[in-house]
Amino acid sequence: MRTTFFFESYALLVICGHYGSGKTNLALNLAKKLKGLGRSPLVVDLDVVNPYFRSTDYQDQMEEEGIRVIGPVFGNSNIDVPSLAPGIDAMIKRATIDHPVILDVGGDPDGARALVRYTPAINIVEDKLVLMVVNTRRPETQEIEGNLEMIRRITKVSSLDIDALIGNTHLAEFTTLDTVKESLPLLEELSLKSRLPLVAVTIPETDPLLHPVPLPLATEFYLPVERLVKTNWQ
């Protein structure tokens, strides 16, 4: 019997979190998993703050796999000030289970500001999930209060409520299963204090533990993910 994951039930996935939490890698992985289910996902890069580690950097790679990626448009100037592509509101409104849309939001409250202009369109979609990605190895999210403050600030700036948490603790290429296991107590406590469900905890797909395994937490499964987003020196 095939395991059903949380992301399969939504037409719209909004991926928020602290800078460096692994939002883009998660967004691309979710798109690939949805494509594997026979769906036609669209990834929208909403990061107009950080020029590095963006969904659109992997546009060619994703489109070779039949996954469309759109992102900010850069003007013909030497300042490189991006503007968001036109028509994103309509794309969000048209999101369905078979044609899901994944919004890869910029990091921190500064990045989440890009959501404000799309809040009316997002709220039209009934089957949506606004996810907070948590990497407990990042400086501002190593403690409970830092994570709660990040949730409060992103919620305030974006005018959207966070629906759920996903644990995505990693150390890039140095991530091990022990790295993930060490994050579980904090994630469990954060879920309780924030009153947000913990829907999954990611593990490296290269780990021997490749298949979803029940967690000893208020969450259902480990979610194997590929490391698609890599540093410039790799």
Give 157-167 pLDDT, tens digit per residue: 999 999 999 99
Q: Is the pLDDT of residue 71 over 50?
A: yes
Radius of gyration of the chain (CA): 17
The predicted-structure confidence for 84-98, as pLDDT tens digits, reads as follows: 777 899 999 999 999
- pLDDT tier at 76, thresholds 50, 70, 90: very low
Q: Where do we find the tokens 């979803």?
A: 212
Residue type at position 72:
P
Q: Is the pLDDT of residue 50 over 90?
A: no
The predicted-structure confidence for 169-186, as pLDDT tens digits, reads as follows: 988 878 888 888 889 999
Q: Is the pLDDT of residue 218 over 80?
A: no
Q: Is 40 exposed, middle or buried (0-12, 13-18, 19+ CB in 10 A)?
A: middle
Q: Is the pLDDT of residue 83 over 80?
A: no
Closest CA to 4 of 212, 201, 217, 204: 212
Contact 125, 119 (CB under 8 A): no
What pLDDT is stored for residue 78 in this prediction? Answer: 39
Long-range contact list for 123-128, CB < 8 A, 24+ apart?
A: 124/92, 124/93, 125/11, 125/12, 125/92, 125/93, 125/95, 126/11, 127/9, 127/10, 127/11, 127/12, 127/95, 127/97, 128/10, 128/11, 128/12, 128/13, 128/14, 128/95, 128/163
Contact 49, 43 (CB under 8 A): no
Q: Where are the domains of the chain?
A: 11-225
pTM over 0.85: yes
Q: What are phi and psi of 198, to 5 degrees?
A: -95, 105
Secondary structure E strands in 31-110: 42-45, 68-70, 73-74, 82-83, 101-104
Q: Is pLDDT larger for residue 148 or for residue 50?
A: 148
Cβ-proximal residues to 41 (8 Å cutoff; 6+ apart), any chain: 30, 31, 34, 35, 67, 68, 99, 100, 101, 102
CATH of domain 11-225: 3.40.50.300
- pLDDT tier at 219, thresholds 50, 70, 90: very low
